[in-house]
Structure 1
Amino acid sequence: MWHSSPWPAGLALLGSALLVAGTLTGHPPLMTGAALMVALSVPTEVAVLRWAGLAAYPAAFVLSLLRPGAALGLADLLGALMVGAALGWLVLRRHLAAQGEAWQARVAVALQDGSRQLAEARDAGGMIRAALGILNTLQVAPHLAFIAYRHGTPFILEARGAYTALLNRPLNPGESAGRSVQTDHRVAEQALSLLRPEDGRYAHLTPVYGHGGTHLGALLISRATRSFDPEEQSAVDAFARLLGAQLGQWQAICDLRDANDLTLRALGAALEHRDDDTGGHTARVVALSVRLARHLGWGESQIQALRWGAYLHDLGKLAIPDGILHKAGPLNDQERQVIQTHAVRGHDMLQDLHFLPAETLDLVRYHHERWDGKGYPAGLCRLQIPESARLFSIVDVYDALTHARPYKPAWSRERALREIHSQAGQQFDPEYVNAFVHLVAERDEAQLVH
């Protein structure tokens, strides 16, 4: 305010001039009014100016006594003391109010920044780090910790200051096994006992709750000097609520994804009963596809889409007549055309499942496309074929080759790998073929070692 507006500075200068005039003339009311003007206009957040505003009246009163003929009576002394005390109280109140306003402004900015950073976080760990980072910039305490439970055992999952040495270290909550505020306090006592006494002399613990009152953990802060005042506790509690809301939302999303995954896995298992001769084909191609994707360095969201597509890749076979699907001999051209419709039919069946990502639908529709463009249903070639479909087609064919089908016996692993390798650049993406062959070779070597 002092820098943004000329009025406080102007009033302070005018008050100082009137205070000098009152001192020179020995006019107590003028001195009192001028001192009040100075006390109300100087910025109390600046220590030098705050003390100058507070000392202005006593200095003026003493100087006024140096005038020739000045006399000091008891009433004058009592009046001066009363004015000085009132001005001191006023400056102190203004200073405390300014501190409170500054703190509230810092908290508001921190909460705004915290909301943005929590929303940008990609996982629960990122949310916790963001929350502690904002609390750290707020300088509410030098030592911060987020405590959560893994299989009933409390751990410090994120920390600042002295708690960093306790990261991912199990803390003993006592004989009681559950998550509760009482347990949090015992865990906090355990954590504080592992610090230097001065680092944990004053502490504040705030439980973190998600949606529906689900207990997610606790924020523990501590410092060496003075206890936490209500305003500081309120700010930490606000951050705990903000963090709890974001973690709760993230947990709900994870639970939904897990439910979707279990549903699609169950659907994939049901397809096994429709196509009995494949005997575990879906479970095998899901596992091997995920391993190959991780080997290639794919991200988790892309791997999830791949896994869901692998569960559902043969969904369209539900629409294929048994006489064609379970035919023991070779298919004629008409039957082959019918069975080739399963890719598009499976894709169409999934259109109403809006939570499925595009990569999942692409895999179901295009996993029979070929690198050379001779596949179906669209005759895509090379990089026109979606990544998930290019990867999965290798695993799908490999599993079909190495397991018995009504029309052929199982091939050996070596023979199947030779066939896969020979089709690089024709049926399959050459880069993915190389990665797949290396992956299978590494797995074989690991099995030999064990």
Structure 2
Amino acid sequence: MAGDDKRRPGCYHQGMWQRSPWPSSLTLVGAGLLAAGTLTRSTPLMAGAALVMALSAPVEVPVKRLAVLAAYPAAFVLTLMWPGTDLGAMDVLGALLVSGGVGTLVVRRQQAVQDEHWQQRVVTALHQGSQHLSEARDSRGMIRAGLDTLDALKIAPHLAFVAYRGGTPMILAGRGAYRAVVDTPIHPSDAETASHSVQTDHLVAEQALALLPPEDRRHTHMAPVYGHAGVHLGILLLSRSEDLPFTPEEHNAVQAFARLLGGQLGQWQAICDLREANDQTLRALGAALEHRDDNTGGHTGRVVGLSIRLARHLGWNERQIHALRCGAYLHDLGKIAIPDHILHKAGPLNEEERRIIQTHAARGHDMLQDLQFLPAETLDLVRYHHERWDGHGYPAGLRGHQIPEVARLFSIIDVYDALTHARPYKAAWSRARAAQELRQQAGRQFDPAYVEAFLELIVERDEAQLVS
């Protein structure tokens, strides 16, 4: 078990043999046996001692590695200096074989240490990178976190992520020399490249690499990034200034990272596509509602845009704004259940008609209960956007901050748009008259803080910008 590695005698863990005292002890025993073999001129004992040292010494330390390699040849030469020593050709051949064997063991162990270090770095980087990718809030953040992870592996100093934006390949993130060309579009540079398809990964990679000075791209590597179902998401580019080719192990590490990044970006893209599909559905439903209530003339589109602008003005986060947008599209959904003779009545409503039309908020809320993708705040907006700050609204008679925040904000936008545009029962009011009405109703019908923020907003911008 990996968790037991630290406690096993002689175990190599994270490239550090020194975690266990046994290797150093065996090295000392081997050195002692080598000395004894030298003194007794026992070549078998010397050979065995040399192998013990080769198998146990911490060869990742250069000085110790050199000592292990030199110990046996030095001991063999010393035996030749003893008076009366008579060694034959087989003894010399045996010494050469032992020296070669020790050298082979040391080199292999050194390579194993380096491989273990590398594997540990890759595992650690991928683990940390997965955490950073999951914490990113958007695709740009994921790409930046991804390059940071790849940079931590120290495979290459110059890194870039290239993807298509609006049909044009662009460098969306970079490290090293690529930092200076982030957000740079990549175009065919001459007639030869222009004759090729710009969708070809290798062509795009060549053009992106050409942005670097020749001395910064002595050796390069390209790795395509794919999401779910093989959707092409971009290209990872790595470039080295040193005259050092990329190894197969480095290629494998980059490929593993590209799969990790592709999985995260693909998941994000799928979520974005689903949200876009949901938004299109809501927009279509809002348009259908306007055909049903055709005298409002673009009411839904206006209140959606103006609500979002006020929310951003107030510093709301994207999750809140998403819930507000969905609710603004659907706020009048319950009017589907209102009879035409009431919905389109030109004159004032009687008490029974008013009671019926007031049911649209609760009915719309009930219709949306089974749509699991809608945030709870969206349903709150649909149900409570006719509540009043003073508690005299409907359907629940909530008061003040009991009214959900999204409903308090949206009710101001909904009334302002209704006042400034013609309805079957009234002519359009001027902006000044509508603003005055909002001021008068602050603390009665509306949250006074939100009224103040909204009036600031319409003063700061021309209404043509607000409701376009």
TM norm. shorter chain > 0.5: yes
Q: CA deviation at 1:446?
A: 8.3
Q: Distance in 2 between matches of 1:277 and 1:162?
A: 59
Q: Distance in 1 between matches of 2:151 and 2:356?
A: 64
TM-superposition CA deviations, 1:203-251 (whole Å, max 9, x none): 1100001111111111101112210010000000111011111111111
Q: Does 1:109 align with 2:109?
A: no
Query: Given the alignment, which residue of 146, 153, 158 partners 1:131?
Result: 146
Q: Distance in 1 between matches of 2:187 and 2:423?
A: 55
Q: CA deviation at 1:189?
A: 1.8
Query: Given the alignment, which residue of 352, 356, 359 partners 1:338?
Result: 356
Which residue identity is paired with 1:187? V
8 Å CA contact retained: 2:163, 2:170? yes
Query: Given the alignment, which residue of 52, 59, 62 partners 2:77?
Result: 62
Change over 3 Å in CA distance of 1:177–1:340 after alignment to 2: farther
Name the count of aligned residue pairs: 445
8 Å CA contact retained: 1:275, 1:325? yes
8 Å CA contact retained: 1:132, 1:145? yes
Q: Does 1:376 align with 2:410?
A: no
Q: Distance in 2 between matches of 1:186 and 1:177?
A: 8
Aligned residue in 2 for 1:245: 263
TM-superposition CA deviations, 1:99-157 (whole Å, max 9, x none): 11221222122222222222222211121122111111111111111111112211111
Q: Distance in 1 between matches of 2:34 and 2:237?
A: 51
Aligned residue in 1 for 2:210: 193
Which residue identity is paired with 2:387? E
Query: Given the alignment, which residue of 290, 295, 312 partners 1:294?
Result: 312
Query: Given the alignment, which residue of 386, 397, 403 partners 2:404?
Result: 386
Q: Distance in 2 between matches of 1:281 and 1:186?
A: 49
Aligned residue in 1 for 2:137: 122
Q: CA deviation at 1:258?
A: 0.3
Report SS of the residue matched to 1:168. coil
8 Å CA contact retained: 1:152, 1:177? no
Report SS of the residue matched to 1:144. strand
Aligned residue in 2 for 1:203: 220
Aligned residue in 1 for 2:321: 303
Change over 3 Å in CA distance of 1:179–1:234 after alignment to 2: farther
TM-superposition CA deviations, 1:64-117 (whole Å, max 9, x none): 223233345444333322221221111111111221122122212222222222
Report SS of the residue matched to 1:427. coil
Q: Does 1:405 align with 2:399?
A: no
Aligned residue in 1 for 2:184: 169
Q: Distance in 2 between matches of 1:5 and 1:30?
A: 26
Which residue identity is paired with 1:99? Q
Report SS of the residue matched to 2:461. helix
8 Å CA contact retained: 1:45, 1:98? yes
Q: Does 1:222 align with 2:262?
A: no
Which residue identity is paired with 1:385? I
TM-superposition CA deviations, 1:260-307 (whole Å, max 9, x none): 000000000000011122111111111111111111111122111111
Which residue identity is paired with 2:221? H
Change over 3 Å in CA distance of 1:298–1:215 after alignment to 2: same
Report SS of the residue matched to 1:3. helix
Which residue identity is paired with 2:281? T
Q: Distance in 1 between matches of 2:335 and 2:57?
A: 83
Change over 3 Å in CA distance of 1:432–1:444 after alignment to 2: same
Aligned residue in 2 for 1:17: 32
Query: Given the alignment, which residue of 276, 281, 285 partners 1:258?
Result: 276
8 Å CA contact retained: 1:22, 1:30? yes
Aligned residue in 2 for 1:7: 22
Report SS of the residue matched to 2:214. coil
Task: Name whichever of 187-196 and 92-101 sits farther off.
Answer: 187-196
Aligned residue in 2 for 1:46: 61
Q: CA deviation at 1:386?
A: 1.0
8 Å CA contact retained: 1:32, 1:57? yes
Which residue identity is paired with 1:407? Y
Task: Name whichever of 106-115 and 149-158 sits farther off.
Answer: 106-115
Which residue identity is paired with 2:63? V
Q: Distance in 1 between matches of 2:196 and 2:278?
A: 31
Q: CA deviation at 1:192?
A: 2.1
Unaligned runs of at least 5 residues, structure 2: 1-11
Query: Given the alignment, which residue of 224, 229, 232 partners 1:212?
Result: 229
Q: Distance in 1 between matches of 2:195 and 2:126?
A: 35
Report SS of the residue matched to 2:234. strand
Which residue identity is paired with 2:171? I
Matches of residues 277-288 of structure 1 in structure 2 within 5 Å?
Answer: 277-288=295-306
Q: Distance in 1 between matches of 2:140 and 2:118?
A: 28
Q: Does 1:98 align with 2:113?
A: yes
Which residue identity is paired with 1:298? W
Task: Name whichever of 397-406 and 102-111 sits farther off.
Answer: 102-111
Task: Name whichever of 190-199 and 41-50 sits farther off.
Answer: 190-199
Q: Distance in 2 between matches of 1:48 and 1:167?
A: 45
Aligned residue in 1 for 2:201: 184
Q: Does 1:353 align with 2:371?
A: yes
TM-superposition CA deviations, 1:9-41 (whole Å, max 9, x none): 221110000001111222111111100100000
Q: Distance in 2 between matches of 1:16 and 1:3?
A: 18
8 Å CA contact retained: 2:50, 2:72? yes
Change over 3 Å in CA distance of 1:130–1:359 after alignment to 2: same
Task: Name whichever of 132-141 and 345-354 sits farther off.
Answer: 132-141
Matches of residues 269-280 of structure 1 in structure 2 within 5 Å?
Answer: 269-280=287-298
Q: CA deviation at 1:406?
A: 1.6
Q: Distance in 2 between matches of 1:56 and 1:414?
A: 97
Which residue identity is paired with 2:217? G
8 Å CA contact retained: 2:18, 2:58? no
Query: Given the alignment, which residue of 151, 169, 174 partners 1:159?
Result: 174
TM score, norm. by length of structure 2: 0.92
Q: Distance in 2 between matches of 1:190 and 1:328?
A: 66
What RMSD, in angstroms, separates the aligned Cα atoms of the two structures?
1.6
